[in-house]
Amino acid sequence: MTSVAEAGLAACPECDELHIRRVLHPGERARCARCGTTLYRRPRRRPDQMLAIVTAALIAFVLANTFPILVLRAQGIVNEATLLGSVAALWSAGQEPVAAMVFVTAWLFPVFDLLAMFLLLLAIQTGSRPALFAPLLRTLQAMRPWGMIEVLMLGVLVSLIKLSKMADVLPGVALYAFIALTVLLAVILSYDLRALWQPDQQRTAEA
């Protein structure tokens, strides 16, 4: 069975009008001739540029998790804590909902998103299409609307700072790495994942 996309066509998601696919310039979008709905767009950044950004974000993530980000004060004892250490401290201080939110938004979501993006972009870069490609991309696409991770991460920072009764944010490597990670994630999350389904069109356009 040949799909619409494989036949070089694009169907309008609103009115089903069929269009012949064209190779777009970076940043351009194709609209339906009948109703004006966006059919597809060509991201401003190429997959190899995105791979560099994702790699930088992964490095920032490792740094943000390796170095202490908080100074915890409990019963006169002062302790430096990493991000995950802070989550554990929040949990044991009876702040379970905040701990869970920080863990999911500042750790779990970014880890999954960055690793998935890295694998997908690497596969595109090496011209391979592993069996994992389609399910991974679909999962990522399903997760993204949840996301606005960069907004949530700012919320995490604020909640960390608000917990100043038991902790101070440490102005060190981890904090700066975390801020860099937030900025890089904003760029990564604004990338239109639909472009990854047909990277070949982009590559031929640039050759």
User: In terms of CB distance, is 17 or 168 closer to Zn ion?
Assistant: 17
Ramachandran angles phi, psi of 77, nearest 5°: -100, 130
Instruction: Give the span between the Cα atoms of 157 and 98, in whole angstroms.
Output: 12
Quote the DSSP letter at residue 193. G
Provide, rounded to whole angstroms, the least separation between the CB of residue 12 and Zn ion. 3
User: In terms of CB distance, is 17 or 80 closer to Zn ion?
Assistant: 17
User: In terms of CB distance, is 14 or 96 closer to Zn ion?
Assistant: 14
* Chain residues in the site for Zn ion (CB under 5 A): 12, 14-15, 17, 32, 34-35, 37
Provide, rounded to whole angstroms, the least separation between the CB of residue 5 and Zn ion. 16
User: In terms of CB distance, is 4 or 15 closer to Zn ion?
Assistant: 15
Ramachandran angles phi, psi of 57, nearest 5°: -65, -40
- Structure tokens, 176: 């700066």
- Other C-beta atoms closer than 10 Å to the C-beta of 45 total 18
Residue closest to 196 by CA, chosen among 61, 40, 38: 40
Please report, as a single letter, which amino acid is at residue 13.
P
Provide, rounded to whole angstroms, the least separation between the CB of residue 70 and Zn ion. 51
Provide, rounded to whole angstroms, the least separation between the CB of residue 35 and Zn ion. 3
